[in-house]
């Protein structure tokens, strides 16, 4: 009889244990489902952040290219200005030399030639001054 009561007790306790197991399985599934949803949300957030990062990186590259072009144009302008200033200084020296020589020339043919060169250098100096202002 003692065996019978043990067997009966085991049979009565078994459904309760099976019920708890299925309740635990349901809780486990809910937890897994919740975690999958959370992971999906994080994946979507990460994908959106990655897209924003790519867009920002593209904008940065575009801006760097624009800055590089502007820097190159500025450097070209500085180089041209330096060349123009050098040319102007040489032209000023030539114009001064011609002006000095013109004051001492008595021959009319030579004088006309030097006056023509003097006008050329004055015009050239005006052109160079205008280039420097650009």
Residue 102 domain-assigned? Answer: yes
Residue 90 domain-assigned? Answer: yes
Q: For 76-82, what is the mean pLDDT? A: 92
The range of the structural domain enclosing residue 108 comes to 36-133
Number of domains the chain is built from: 1
pLDDT band at 1 (very low <50, low <70, confident <90, very high): very low
Residue 13 domain-assigned? Answer: no
pTM of this structure: 0.56
The rounded mean pLDDT for the chain is: 84
pLDDT on residue 107: 84
Taking the C-alpha atoms of residue 113 and residue 99, their distance in angstroms, rounded to an integer, is: 12
């Amino acid at each position: 009889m003692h065996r019978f009561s043990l067997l009966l007790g085991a049979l009565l306790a078994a459904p309760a244990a099976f019920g708890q197991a299925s309740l635990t399985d349901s809780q486990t599934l809910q937890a897994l489902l919740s975690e999958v949803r959370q992971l999906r949300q994080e994946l979507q957030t990460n994908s959106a952040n990655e897209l924003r990062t790519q867009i920002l990186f593209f904008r940065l590259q575009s801006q760097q290219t624009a800055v590089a072009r502007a820097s190159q144009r500025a450097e070209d302008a500085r180089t041209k200005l330096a060349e123009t200033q050098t040319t102007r200084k040489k032209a000023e020296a030539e114009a001064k030399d011609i002006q000095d020589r013109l004051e001492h020339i008595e021959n009319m043919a030579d004088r006309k030639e030097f006056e023509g060169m003097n006008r050329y250098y004055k015009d050239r100096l005006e052109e160079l001054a205008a280039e420097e202002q650009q």
